[in-house]
Every structure is written in structure tokens, then in C-alpha cells.
Structure 1
């Protein structure tokens, strides 16, 4: 009579456990690496919202400190109106009486604006903690300069167009750039 024994040997068990262990390590490593890409779309959406909102805020302001704020009848540096010169490139930025974004009244006041965390949303919704938490690790910087020939390069001279460039850095360190021109009209 023959006795049939069914089962695994000790060597087969050890090899099976080893194969399962290697497979598990491979899959957990793959899952761990993929989780950092799951958050990227969320960061990109928030950066786009933030950049777009700030760009709209800036563009809604007048072209220059010396421009007419009641309809654009007087343009700075305009020969036909005899208006005063526009702000020189060296003097772009917030004016002496403008201490916060709430006081900014022309596009170049935003030049060299750098904000992080709560400073980003403080002006628009000061008591919204949920929004503050969403943007707590974001950074933004703004650059404004004259670019009369629309080539994206600083002209270092008074011109008819100002290029507004915004860079939003998300918590993962990705930089998102936004830009627009504001014309002297």
C-alpha cells in the first residue's frame, strides 16, 4: 500500500514566504511613491485659483500712481493730456503711504510683493480659518515691470505696458507662473 502525503516541504514554505515578502515590499514601495503624485492636482488647482485671483486683483487697479482713477481720461506720460510722467522703473513698488494690499491703488504697488501662509488670504477673507489652512504652506511673489515691446523682458524705461508676473509655490515646491499685461489707457 502506498501512502500519499500531501503538503509542502519546509524549503518550499521558506521560498514561498520569501517570494511573498519581496512582492509586498515592491508593491508598498510603488504605492508609497505614487501617493506624492496624488496631491499634485490639488496643489495645482489651489495654485491656479490663488494666482488667478491675485492677477484679477492686480489688473483691476489703475496703470500707474499718476494715472486718472476715474475713467482713464488722463494717462501718465501722455503727450496729448499734458499729464505728469509715469513712475520710473527704479521707483516701482508700494508707495510710502501704502502699507498693505488694502492700500494698493495701481499695478506697480504689487512689485516685490512676497506673501506666505495667512498673509495670502488675510485681505480677502480675514476670518476664514478653513481657507487659511488650505493655503498655509503656499508662497507667492509678484514682479511688475515696463515692457513696451511685449517681449517679456524688462525695458528699464517708462513704457506703455507693464508686465505682471506672479509665481505661486505650492507645498511640494512646484512653481506655477501667471502673467498678464496692463496697458496705459
Structure 2
């Protein structure tokens, strides 16, 4: 006895289903590529922030270790009482001869440099130093404290500001 043939249903995708799949995948890929483009554009930000902090630490270490003013002996004692807010370098001084904190006032380095020469890897950075008498901001007589403000501009015009105080002790 012969068995009757049965029709088995065809398996597969229709043209409409294929077109819909292509459209959905295209939209998903466009979103992922857009996210990658945004991330790639910001990938240098953390590196520039880290380098700006390192640069600020280098400059602050150099400045803070200097004497309070020209008349202050190395070590800070005896405490000086005259010409404490005479801000700025003396005539003829350059960075390699700066000997007190206020000599760094209005220093602009582009590209940044260490006291003993150039730094590598900081092209595109600019450092500006401002020193002001600001003892009253930390509970001292105004002339007994100086505030050092470092402004660092990184590539891409990112700006970072760092401040420290140096007391006349």
C-alpha cells in the first residue's frame, strides 16, 4: 500500500522580512558608530587632565621651595617684616635666577619648561603664574601670605587652575 504524499511547509524568510532586518541592523550600527565617535573625541581629555596636574605639581614644587621674599634667609628665620608685598622679579632676573616666590609673578611659559631646561611632551600647553599677597584669606596679616595661582591651558583650550599659599614663617 502506498502512502499519500504530504506537502511539507517551506522554511525561509520572505523578502519583506529581509528588508526589515537590514533596516533594523542599519539603525543599530548607526547608533553604535555615533557613540564611538563621541568617545573617540573625548579620549584625550583624561590624558590632558593628568598631564596638567603633573605640570602644576612641577611648577608648584619649584615655586614653593623658594624663599618668601628677597630679604628672607634660607630656612625662613628670622621672619622678615619689610617689603613683603613687593611682587615681581627684580631687574635683570630670569627664571634660572629666581630666588623667591614673588619672582614668578606674571611668568608665562609656552611650551612649559623646567627651571633647568625644556620639558618634553608638553607641546600645546601654556602655563601662567600669578602671585599675590593674600595672607588675609588664610587668617594671617595680608603681607604674611602669598597666593600662587597657576593657570594651565591644555591642547583643545581646556583650562585648569591650581592655587597654593606660601606663608612668611
Tell me if TM exceeds 0.5: yes
TM-score w.r.t. length of structure 1: 0.75
How far the C-alpha of 1:61 sits from its partner, in A, is 0.8
How far the C-alpha of 1:93 sits from its partner, in A, is 2.1
- Tell me which moved more, 19-28 or 167-176: 167-176
After superposition, give the CA deviation of every residue in 1:148-178 in whole Å (9 maximum; x if it has no partner): 21259xxxx9711111111222224332222
Structure 1 segments of 4+ aligned residues over 4 angstroms from their partners: none
How far the C-alpha of 1:21 sits from its partner, in A, is 0.9
Corresponding position of 2:84: 86
Q: State the structure with more CA Rg.
A: 2
Q: SS at the partner of 2:131?
A: strand
Corresponding position of 1:175: 159
Corresponding position of 2:63: 58
Aligned residues: 163
Corresponding position of 2:99: 105
Structure 1 gap segments, 5+ residues each:
79-83
Specify which of 120, 133, 148 is matched with residue 164 of structure 1.
Answer: 148
After superposition, give the CA deviation of every residue in 1:105-143 in whole Å (9 maximum; x if it has no partner): 1111111112222xx1354454xxxx52x2112222111
User: Any conservation in 2 of the 1:52–1:178 contact (CA below 8 Å)?
Assistant: no
Corresponding position of 2:130: 143
The structure, 1 or 2, with the larger RCO (C-alpha pairs under 8 Å, 6+ apart) is 1
Give the number of the structure whose residues are more often strand, by fraction. 2
Within 1, Cα distance between the matches of 2:163 and 2:142?
19
How far the C-alpha of 1:70 sits from its partner, in A, is 3.5
> In the TM superposition, what are the counterparts of 1:13-162 in structure 2 within 5 Å?
13-65=18-70, 67-76=71-80, 78=81, 84-88=82-86, 92-99=87-94, 101-117=95-111, 120-121=112-113, 123-126=115-118, 132=120, 134-150=121-137, 159-162=143-146
CA RMSD of aligned residues (A): 2.5
Structure 2 gap segments, 5+ residues each:
1-5
